[in-house]
Structure formats: C-alpha cells, structure tokens
Structure 1
Amino acid sequence: MKLINKLPNPDNKFDLYFLAYDSPKAVSHGNHWTDREGIIELTHNYGTEDDPNYKITNGNTDPFKGFGHLCISVDNLQAACQRLEDAGYKFQKKLTDGRMKHIAFVLDPDGYWVEVIGQKPLEQTENVKETNTDTYRMNHTMLRVKDKDVSLNFYKDVMGMKLKRTSENPNAGFNLYFLGYGADAPEQIANGVNPVADSEGLLELTWNYGTERDANFKYHNGNDEPQGFGHICISVDDLDAACARFEDKGVNWKKRLTDGRMKNIAFVLGMSHIICIHGTKLMS
C-alpha cells in the first residue's frame, strides 16, 4: 500500500494515516483520497509505541469478539504468502493449515488478522514464484453481526449497499454476506475463484447461527475498553443531504454534523459498530 494522506492532530496527541493501493493498475488510482474504495485508516495515539504493556484487542478473542479481519486479494496466492513469510511475518493460518487451502491469515504488527485470497484459481498459480503488489486489492473488512436480517436491512436500506455474494455454511453454523456499492457480482464462476475477489472496499458480515435469539448477546465494538478496531467509513456525494436522509431513516447517532468542533464528519451507530460519514473531497 501507499500512504495517500496523513492528518496530524498534535493538540489531541494522535495522528491518522490513510493507506491504499495506488499504482496505475489500482482500481481508483489517482483519485482524491476521499473518493476511493478500499482505504485503511490507521490511528496512532502518541506514546503507545513506548509503552511495553500497551496492546490492542484484535476482535477475535473472547470476550471481545466483533471485528474480524481485513482482506487483501492478490495475483498469485502462493507466491504472495511466501513473500510475507520470507519477510518474517507470523501467520494465524497458512495455506497448508486446515481444510481451506485457498485462504491464509497473516498477522500485522498489532495482531490484527489480514486475510489473503487469490484473484486466480490455485492451480494456475501454484508454480508461479513472483507476485506483483501493483495488482493487489484491499478487498473487504469483516464484521460479526448478531442478527443477519436486521444487519442486512440496515446496510442495504439505510446505507444503500448491494448484497453481492452470500456464502452459507450450515455444517459450520455460520453464513457470510458480502456487500458493497457499484455493479452486481455473479454468485459463482466456473473456475472456483471468489467472484468478488477482484473488488475493492467490500463489507463482509459474518453471522453465527443462533446469536439473534440470545437477548444478552452482543459484540465488542472496538471503541469500548479494550480498544482496537474503530469504525468503517462511508463517503457520500452531499454530506448534509445524506445525513438528513439518515435522520429520516431513524438512525442512532454517535455524532451529528452539528456536534462538537468537526462540522464535516458524522458518526452513525450501526448494529454492532460505528460508521463514519464524510463527504467526497472534503477533509474529515
């Protein structure tokens, strides 16, 4: 990835870093940083690097499960994973682990899981030794949700996303739902590759069967202690109009545009996480 913007906040003792794939082969190469899909925002609070006891919650350990992972899709899966291993990064799951031989999970320096998937069938890339990071995609962000119907309705009706793919896994007791903007995607293709592997900026919702029936069940949102994942972000064409629409939809607000000093950014409370709303080509 490339650093496409930095927003320093020395008065509040934190900085924001925005990273994306930005080679000529990238989907939104050269666009303004707010007019892209597949951006990762890193927040650094001053001094944490000097605190040996500081650590984040990665969203995958009880009792603080919620956020699951980021996902990068790559040109040649085996070569890409070998490149990461050669660089000394640890894996939560290698390609050879378990039954799913077509995905891997590498750990970033804070322990967040990063899924790695291929854009081509495994048999086409098993003997390829090279990988070109210019072709990589920031494919999706995975969040766990308590009630699939409530969450799907929220992201489709309120946030305007399309359901692009569903993966049902009854034997394992969970389903996956991939949502995003833009054109529809085929449910499946003949070569076995994930049909949305070449996309950017998708949202993957993971629903574990039965959680919707437990009145006391909830996921950790990453903003309560212990902290980790912060929010997903939607950029909109007209910020005032979009927020008025959300108001009409009856959303729960974490921060309205009129709250606080930052008048060009809002936060909506999703089903289990926070959603940042800012305008295209407006500084947040």
Structure 2
Amino acid sequence: MSTEDKYYPIKIDCAANDSTLTFNHTCLRIKDPKRSVKFYVETFGMKLMDKKDFPEMKFSLYFLSFPKENWEKNSKGEADVFGASGILELTHNWGTEDEDDFKINNGNEEPHRGFGHICFSYADVSKACEALEAKKAPFKKRMSDGRQKDIAFVLDPDGYWIEIVQYLREAEEFPTTDVGPKFNHTMVRVKDPVKTIEFYKNVLGMDVLRTSVNEKNKFTLYFLGYPLKEGEGRVSKEGVLEITHNWGTETDANFQYHNGNDKPQGYGHICVSCKDPASLCEEIDTKYGDKVSWAPKFNQGKLKNIAFLKDPDGYSIEIVPQGLVV
C-alpha cells in the first residue's frame, strides 16, 4: 500500500487519554559538532544538556535546550532530556567534519525540499534580532526584507533555517510577560494536509492549535501539538509541529517531498515521548496494522526501548520513554 492510500480514521484510546505524551525533540544531522554546538550556545544562549556517544555505530548525539525551570530527573539524577519539550538533538556521524566535500541537505533546496526550518520565539522579535546582529549571526532574511516584517530567519553552520518570531502579540492571550526564548516549532512541508492531520491527531493524539491561510501565495500553515498548559501561548509553547501545504500537491500523483533520511541527508526526525511507549506502540500496531510503517518497531532495533514510525510523507517520528537513560 502506498503512502497516498493510507488513512487513519480511528481515534486510538491510548494516545487520546495519555496526558504524558510530549513532543520532545527535533533531530538535525550536523557536519561539525564543535562548530554547531558553539553556535547554538553562544549565539542563542541554549545549554548543552547531555551528550551521548555510540562508538560501535560511530555517532554522537548532542541535546540542547533553552533554560527551563524544574527539570524532571532520570534514574541517574540528571535532567531528563526525554521528559521535556523544546529539545534540539544534533546528530554527528563521526568523520564528516574532516570531509571537505561533505554537505548537509538543509531541506530548502530543489530537488530535495521537505524539512523547512526550526523556530525560536521571543517576547520582542526586534530586540532578539538586534542581539543576533551584535553576535554577527548570519541572516537569511532580516525583518526589513520581503513582505513579512514581523519575522526573520538566521542560518546555522549547516545552512538550516531558524525562524525568529514574537510571542507577545495582541492575538495571543498568553503569556503576558517575557518568559524567555522558546523553541516553538519545527516545520515540514506536506503533500496532503488532510492525511497528515488525520495521522498526527489519530495515531499520536495531537490536535490543530492554529492555522494560517495565505490565499495570495496559495499555501496554508497548520500548527499541531499537545494541549496548551496553564499560562502557555501558542507561539510561546515549546513542542509544536508546523506543516506547510502548498496548494495542489495533493492532486499530483508523482509529487513527493524529501524526508531528510534518504540521501542527501539532513533533517532526521521529531520525537514523541511518554511514560509507557511500549503500550502506545502496541496500540498503534493493533489498530492500524500495515497502514503504519515502522523502522523499527518498539525495542526491536539496535538501540532498545525506542521505536520509529513514518508519517504519510515518510518523515520519521521517534517514540521513547520519558526518563530514558542511554
């Protein structure tokens, strides 16, 4: 069965009733970890929360986050990077930093478009951009460029786009004060928004938090995620998936976005964590069978206690237990 033929009409009880479900992290492959970690720490003020090395598979994972209060702890007494939202996971395959011709696919260049950007939100976007200018951050788009004067884009060392937006706005009830920078959302382009929204709502229990229609340029943005917490706004919330639909792609039988994991690689996945991922994965498998693609199923890969499934466009979603110690 092709991806285009898959539907997800059943609301599964496990995802619908699991209040621990969390959009945990977004994974991006990088060429040089020294360069990339330094960029996110020094330019944006993120903190390196954890690093995991896998010598047998020759790769390392770096977990970064904006400052948070009241981190949950894992069994080692460390901050649980799998129990929070707004985590950026950088994946380094050893040796790429020494390859002169190695280049990451940033997802925005033809013919390999798919992943679009990550987005950091601030109380005041103008002040944030002024601070980034002072740090000589490389801008893809300044606020003064183009038609949209309320956003900017910065390029990271591998050419990934980072959108800069403001969460204190009249249309948003919360927050009412500066609550610091937030890793608000991750954007991917999708072929058919109906099928994609059905998947994330019914299989993973997300909902549409807001939409934005641009009739002039013929595209629609959908923002999906788990329920807002008290005092949390849609633009200040961490852990949101933005899907971008360019009108007409859904009727083109041959149209396909690049999923980031086929070569040339770049974007890796988003990750959903919960207290009991084994039960969640079993429920999904029971309800949907071969309508959902796994790679691998829970606890069946080289790395234990995790699973990967694919959405209608072939983008990967990791499922992990909160409190996981790797």
The TM-score with structure 1 as length reference comes to: 0.87
SS at match of 1:155: helix
Q: Name 1:135's counterpart in structure 2.
A: 180
Cα distance change on mapping 1:201 and 1:244 into 2, 3 Å: same
Asked if structure 1 preserves the Cα contact closer than 8 Å seen for 2:293 and 2:310, the reply is yes
SS at match of 2:295: strand
- Contiguous gaps of at least 5 residues in structure 2: 1-45, 74-78, 171-177
Using the alignment, how far apart are the partners of 1:29 and 1:46 within structure 2? Answer: 31
For 2:271, which of 227, 230, 233 is the aligned residue? 233
1:152 paired to 2:200: no
For 1:7, which of 30, 49, 52 is the aligned residue? 52
Q: Name 2:41's counterpart in structure 1.
A: none
Shift of 1:102: 0.5
Q: Name 2:28's counterpart in structure 1.
A: none
Q: Name 1:101's counterpart in structure 2.
A: 149
Q: Supply the AA of the counterpart residue of 2:121.
A: S
For 1:181, which of 226, 238, 257 is the aligned residue? 226
1:26-105 matches, cutoff 5 A: 32-105=80-153
Cα distance change on mapping 1:178 and 1:184 into 2, 3 Å: farther
Q: Name 1:224's counterpart in structure 2.
A: 262
Asked if structure 2 preserves the Cα contact closer than 8 Å seen for 1:265 and 1:276, the reply is yes
Shift of 1:88: 1.9
SS at match of 2:183: strand
Count of residue pairs the alignment pairs up: 263
Q: Supply the AA of the counterpart residue of 1:259.
A: Q
SS at match of 2:83: coil
Using the alignment, how far apart are the partners of 2:92 and 2:279 within structure 1? Answer: 32
Q: Name 2:62's counterpart in structure 1.
A: 17
Taking only the aligned residue pairs, the percentage that are identical comes to 46
Cα distance change on mapping 1:22 and 1:184 into 2, 3 Å: closer
Shift of 1:198: 1.2
1:251-262 matches, cutoff 5 A: 251-262=292-303
Cα distance change on mapping 1:258 and 1:264 into 2, 3 Å: closer
- Contiguous gaps of at least 5 residues in structure 1: 123-131, 186-194
Q: Name 2:282's counterpart in structure 1.
A: 244
Using the alignment, how far apart are the partners of 2:298 and 2:318 within structure 1? Answer: 11
Shift of 1:196: 1.5
1:279 paired to 2:316: no
Which is worse superposed, 175-184 or 96-105? 175-184
CA deviation profile, 1:236-282 (whole Å, cap 9, x unmatched): 22121011111023221111124233220100011220111111112
Using the alignment, how far apart are the partners of 1:103 and 1:218 within structure 2? Answer: 28
Shift of 1:183: 3.0
Asked if structure 1 preserves the Cα contact closer than 8 Å seen for 2:299 and 2:306, the reply is no
Using the alignment, how far apart are the partners of 1:162 and 1:212 within structure 2? Answer: 21
For 1:113, which of 148, 161, 172 is the aligned residue? 161
Shift of 1:74: 1.0
SS at match of 1:11: coil
Which is worse superposed, 104-113 or 84-93? 84-93
Asked if structure 1 preserves the Cα contact closer than 8 Å seen for 2:191 and 2:255, the reply is yes
- RMSD of the TM alignment (CA)? 2.0
For 1:204, which of 238, 242, 257 is the aligned residue? 242
Shift of 1:184: 8.3
Cα distance change on mapping 1:143 and 1:108 into 2, 3 Å: same
Asked if structure 2 preserves the Cα contact closer than 8 Å seen for 1:59 and 1:220, the reply is yes
Using the alignment, how far apart are the partners of 1:12 and 1:282 within structure 2? Answer: 19
Using the alignment, how far apart are the partners of 2:287 and 2:63 within structure 1? Answer: 30
Cα distance change on mapping 1:184 and 1:75 into 2, 3 Å: closer
Using the alignment, how far apart are the partners of 2:243 and 2:126 within structure 1? Answer: 26
Using the alignment, how far apart are the partners of 2:160 and 2:87 within structure 1? Answer: 16
Asked if structure 1 preserves the Cα contact closer than 8 Å seen for 2:51 and 2:60, the reply is yes
Q: Name 2:213's counterpart in structure 1.
A: 168
CA deviation profile, 1:137-160 (whole Å, cap 9, x unmatched): 000000111001000000111110
CA deviation profile, 1:73-120 (whole Å, cap 9, x unmatched): 012211211221222221111100011111101000100000000122
Using the alignment, how far apart are the partners of 2:293 and 2:219 within structure 1? Answer: 27
Shift of 1:62: 0.6
The TM-score with structure 2 as length reference comes to: 0.77
Which is worse superposed, 113-122 or 162-171? 113-122
